[in-house]
Amino acid sequence: MIFEKSTAVKTTAAKVWTLLLDPNVMGACVPGVEKIDVISDTEYLVTVQVKITFITARFTVNTKIVETQPPHYLKSVGTGQDSGMSSSMTQTSEVFITDTGPGACELKTRLNVELVGKFGTFGLNIIKTKVDRMWDEFSQNLVRKLEADSSAGGSSQASPATAQATGTAPVVPQASSPAAAGAPAARPLVWLDMDQEALDKAYNQAAYAANRQQLLDRYARRSDITRALRGEPARAQYGPSEIEGLDIYRAPADNAPINIFIHGGAWRLSTARECGFFADLFNGAGAHLVVPDFTSVETVGGDMFPMVEQVRRSIAWVVNNARSFGGDPKQIYVSGTSSGAHLAAAALTADWSDYGISADAFKGALLCSGIYDLEPVRRSARGAYVRFTDEMVEKLSPLRNLHRLSTPLVVVYGDLETPEFQRQSREFAEAVRKTGYLSELVYAQGYNHFEIHETLGDPYDVLGRAVLKQMGLSVRAQTAAAMALSE
């Protein structure tokens, strides 16, 4: 069961954030909380009493804060059972905080909760009504606390006397922290709740995909097979240097839609050649596939600007020259995976007047497993080969330039990717949703970073199905186009 609430608060996002991290405040706001034991700064044991009709349960819930982006986003997960072991629950809570003006912000909460056992035997409507009421009470208590603290000058602690006078729950005693018990000091955090080792791993997809090399080899092998069956793609130059070329896999008919695929490879690996097998899907569905090559970030001394500029110019070339290879300039789509999704998004948030084309030249785009904010990447091991600067992070982070977006997006990510890649996709999609340009957010279960990339070549799998839907193409059209190709 999913519940979403949104409310305006007369205080700043920073003050909301401070209270959210205070277990005493949360204990006073959540109805039925009897005790909170603090295990660490991000983990608590919460005892809460819940009553539905004639059944009362006392749950002990292990709650962990699993993601934070101060002061705008917090995610926690919890699992627990009641003392009689007759019911159990799981919950995931997300809090989004957005500044709306001086001294004001919007607090949005999303709760996904499941109950089994005795509680699970009640009708869905009864359970939803109960959880909905509890969530409403929590939200109201939190807003009152926030606005009261703001009026009082920002103090987040209430004395027992004040708590009794206002009718709120008293402050919950905290357990001693591990540090106080003599545990070794934690390593310093460099991003959200991650130390350097964790952050480096979070931006290293190989650490989460043991089959990486097997899949990379298969991309190349499948692309060789595609070219053997369909022939070599046409090659065109969009710029003066040798690398500034693009492969054009033509559809059987003229005036066909076009998909421009921007390849990934951590900004330093891969070429257009390894993406040839996607032509089976696009050409078979009656669309042209264009895959540009561009420089590696290492080739230009770690500077990402030349790479992004080449990607933008390659896309502009396709818009201006679509008819030269039988393409319809009014049906141009862009797609990209991994660092290619970042580059595609950086292109789609460009000022296209600099390239002589309209910002609405693109019908849609599909972005999979991308990076949309460069700041955490800057702090990771990738900073060893990308020479990040403040200007680069600001200008080339798509998340920071959505005011120039005018293309409907489909955003996709897999549940077996690194936590940071998943977080980046979710938060980017949420930001795009607020602009009105999010067509769909696809959460693909059972796919790691390299597995999901491969599905763009299969009309029945995640990316293939999503891109055909976006372009208004079908499997039937694919079959007919494939037959025409073979004649």
pLDDT digits (tens, 9 = 90+) for 363-388: 999 999 999 999 999 999 999 999 99
Per-residue burial over 21-42, b = 16 or more CB atoms within 10 Å of its CB, e = otherwise: bebbbbbbbbbbbeebbbeeee
| Domain identity same for 165 and 219 | no
Beta bridge partners of 413: 443
Residue 171: CATH number of its domain = 3.30.530.20
**Is residue 39 one of the residues assigned to a domain?**
yes
pLDDT tens per residue across span 204-223: 999 999 999 999 999 999 99
Residues 32, 103 share a domain: yes
Q: What is the domain extent for residue 108?
A: 2-186
pLDDT tens track for 120-148: 544 455 556 666 677 677 777 777 777 67
> In angstroms, rounded to a whole number, what is the distance separating the alpha carbons of residues 198 and 207?
11
Q: Is residue 449 in a domain? A: yes
* Same domain as 174, residue 29: yes
CB contact set of 208 (below 8 Å; sequence gap of 6+): 416, 417, 418, 448, 449
Cβ–Cβ under 8 Å, residues 79 and 114 = no
Omega within 30 of 0 (cis) for the link into 329:
no
Strands 256-262 and 327-337, bridge-based pairing:
parallel
Determine the pLDDT at residue 351. 94
Same domain, 62 and 160: yes
pLDDT one-digit tens code per residue, 292-311: 999 999 999 999 999 999 99
- Together in a domain, 414 and 336: yes
Tens digit of each residue's pLDDT (9 = 90 or more) over 445-473: 999 999 999 999 999 999 999 999 999 99
182 and 230 assigned to the same domain? no
Q: Are residues 273 and 398 in the same domain?
A: yes
Do residues 259 and 282 touch, judged by C-beta distance below 8 A? yes
Q: In Å, how far are 11, 92, 120, 421 from 415, measured between CA atoms?
A: 35, 15, 27, 10
Are the C-beta atoms of residues 451 and 414 closer than 8 Å to each other? yes
In a domain, 192, yes or no: no
How far apart (Å, rounded) are the C-alpha atoms in residues 46 and 23? 10
Is residue 193 domain-resident?
no
How many structural domains are present in the chain?
A: 2
Cβ atoms < 10 Å from Cβ of 226: 20
| Selected residue with higher pLDDT from 318 and 20 | 318
Q: What is the DSSP letter of 240?
A: S
Are 228 and 271 members of one domain? yes
Same domain, residue pair 24 and 98: yes
Last residue of a domain, one of 164, 186, 208: 186
The contacts of residue 443 (CB under 8 Å, 6+ apart) are 413, 415
455 burial class (0-12, 13-18, 19+ CB within 10 angstroms)?
buried
In-domain check, residue 191: no
Q: What is the CATH number of the domain that holds 449?
A: 3.40.50.1820
